[in-house]
Amino acid sequence: MHFHAMIQLPSAGRLATALLAAVILAGCSGDRFGNSPEQQPAPAARAAAPRAVPLADMTGRWQLTSPGSGACGMSFTGATGAVEGTIAPEGGCPGKFFTSRRWTFDQDALLIRSHTGEVLGRLAMPAPGRFEGQATSGEALALTR
């Protein structure tokens, strides 16, 4: 038997094989989400989004104060060099900061968020071991070691 006779398939089989090959090859032309190369953002556009940078190692106990509104201790957790983590507030926190549960660095600021994800305050770091800023309600805040 000749080689070409062994690989001849019935016409329906050849059609099915051709369709299967076309489907497989079509899957190779885009990314894993089905976007074609033309629909994908250029590498520069993907890299343009600013990345959060750790401003400080937040792990440990901090003191949150608001003039005239009180103060409380807050335990911050997160991996070394992390840009986000959790907060466990102690009693007596000013304003809504008793609901603090998450912290994140957003470009040049520390955001403190509630258990629902609401931003409670935004603080900048003027000196090592100290953050200053405002609660979303407008009151001044300081966070120190």
Question: Domain segments of the chain: what residues?
Answer: 7-47, 60-144
Which of 81, 88, 129, 70 shows the shortest CA–CA distance to 105? 81
CATH topology of domain 60-144: Lipocalin (2.40.128)
SS3 content of the chain, % helix, strand, coil (to 5): 20, 35, 45
State pLDDT tens for residues 70-129.
999 999 999 988 999 999 999 899 999 999 999 999 988 999 999 999 999 999 999 999
Q: Which tens digits make up the pLDDT trace of 7-47?
A: 554 555 555 555 555 555 555 554 444 554 455 555 544 44
Global pTM value: 0.64
Residue 18 Ramachandran class (φ > 0 left, ψ -120 to 50 alpha, else beta)? alpha
* pLDDT greater than 50 at residue 142: yes
